[in-house]
Chain A
């Protein structure tokens, strides 16, 4: 468990990047709800889009250390990415964390601590919460496993 609560995860949960208390006024912003009915975790993700480009991602809401740290890292990682790149990134992340653990890991170093969740299946939804909300938005027709 100490391994699941890796310093990266603790750090991001205590002072998350791109976190805001209230929703932005900006009406242009794309708003995504990431809600886990099992545990009541609820984040709102705000995507500032410039055509195909994700200029910035912010989030608000409430969740455990794992889901919060994951969301925080995702906001960092998606900033400045194009939609296509983001799709690839999210799909690689799902492969690495959920499927078989194999993936172009070098690109995803900062997410490696989350791999520990594979030993705690009951916490898997904490890791996938925001990833899935983003996948649903970018690929609305794709069936998730």
Chain B
């Protein structure tokens, strides 16, 4: 029985209050912490993997492997069964209506590009605009910028409030009847802001504008439910939710998927390939051209098992407490400035140390095996708005605990001792 099972009882929400040590036990399920001990505060970039995810990938290759949807032999049937089971698991995990609303991709980036080039481009009308927010990751900025420059649309960026949230009032002015699509991030990978997207989505829908939500940072950290959000598309990556790299998901409301065109052409996505015209399969298969990352899906199933067993809302409750603790500590420390002050924050915080470059901070912390991020976090337009070229970012997941925060604070004091 896994260590996590032993501690499941402690993940009972009522018993979580004030608990900041749980991560220490959860960490035992993640072999990298034994094999290469370190303080990991960079889960927003990518999360570590529990043993069962690693095992699932290994088991898939060693006992279940074969091509997907192609051959008629048993191996292929078994591999296909697991792959399609993955689709149903994701469907339930995010509350979709049916498995065919789930498309497997390489990750968030590919998911968004599929929507940009397969859905938005064919619907372009003259004088149209695309609306994003000022806090988008490059993955939810560059595809739209590309389309806008290529087809002469205007790209509108919803500004942020001083607290670092998407400005709802501005959003309702910028999204209008000429808006082709709106693409918004649920949790900012730079500020940690949890955006309340419901009112914006409701406004967009009142004008028949479809909405894509970038859930790369929210998935696995909070309950992400496409019915509750009422989004039309949702994109996320396996590797940030304790799953393997190279696999991700695009959810789309089925009626929109029927209207979406394939973006990657090749094997498996076609029903009949003629010399002049071809007929493509129904969604989701027409969007999964080529041999998919089936082993990634096997691992993703194990990641969902892990998250569901622990309970995403329990993880959220635990990590919210840990995050507040981290922010309290950072705020109490002299010369530390925290970016943004949103009502709700998830999993991460960006900060700068007075007169010390974030790269120097991250390098010196790295010396004692404390991993935090320094950089522009693939969100250069946002940092330009904030007038800060780069920041430090510390991010957490269920395997972190108060000792990690203590190590971070000791590290920050050591950095200051170098320079002051």
Contacts and interface: CB of A to CB of B under 8 A. Distances in A.
B363 A39 contact: no
Interface string A5-45: 10000100110000000000000000000000011111000
Contacts of B360: 5, 64-66
The 8 A-B residue pairs with the shortest CB-CB distance, nearest first, are A1-B367, A40-B389, A64-B357, A64-B359, A65-B360, A40-B390, A64-B360, A5-B418
Interface in A37-62: 38-42, 62
A42 B389 contact: yes
A89 interface: no
A100 B119 CA distance: 53
A123 B389 contact: no
Interface in B353-384: 356-360, 363-364, 366-367, 374-376, 380, 383
Interface residues of B, number: 18
Contacts of A42: 389
A48 B371 CA distance: 42
B419 A65 contact: yes
Interface centre among B360, B367, B390 (most CB of A within 10 A): B360
Contacts of B374: 39
A140 to B, nearest CB: 27
A123 B363 contact: yes
A102 to B, nearest CB: 26
Nearest to B418: A5
B357 A65 contact: yes
A22 B284 CA distance: 56
Contacts of B358: 64
A14 to B, nearest CB: 7
A5 B364 contact: yes
Q: Chain B interface secondary structure, helix, strand, loop or mixed? A: helix
Contacts of A64: 357-360
A41 B390 CA distance: 9
A4 interface: yes
B364 A1 contact: yes
A65 B376 CA distance: 17
Given A1-B364, A39-B375, A39-B390, A63 B357 contact: yes
Interface in A75-103: none
A120 B363 CA distance: 9
Interface residues on A, range: 20 to 34
Interface of A: 1-2, 4-5, 10, 13-14, 38-42, 62-66, 68, 120, 123, 126
A62 B389 contact: yes
A25 B56 CA distance: 65
A1 B415 CA distance: 11
Nearest to A120: B363
Interface in B381-400: 383, 389-390
Interface-central residue, A40, A41, A62, A66, by most chain B CB under 10 Å = A40
Contacts of B359: 39, 41, 64, 123, 126
Interface in B28-71: none
B377 to A, nearest CB: 11
A65 B359 CA distance: 9
29 contacts: A1-B363, A1-B366, A2-B418, A4-B363, A5-B364, A5-B418, A10-B419, A13-B419, A39-B374, A40-B375, A40-B376, A40-B380, A40-B383, A40-B390, A41-B359, A41-B389, A42-B389, A63-B357, A64-B357, A64-B358, A64-B359, A65-B357, A65-B360, A65-B419, A66-B360, A68-B357, A120-B363, A123-B359, A126-B359
Contacts of A38: 375
Contacts of A62: 357, 389
B384 to A, nearest CB: 10
A39 B356 CA distance: 14
A38 B376 CA distance: 8
Nearest to A63: B357
A64 B418 CA distance: 13
A5 B359 CA distance: 12
Contacts of B364: 1, 5
Nearest to B375: A39
A127 B344 CA distance: 40
B419 A14 contact: yes
Contacts of B390: 39-40
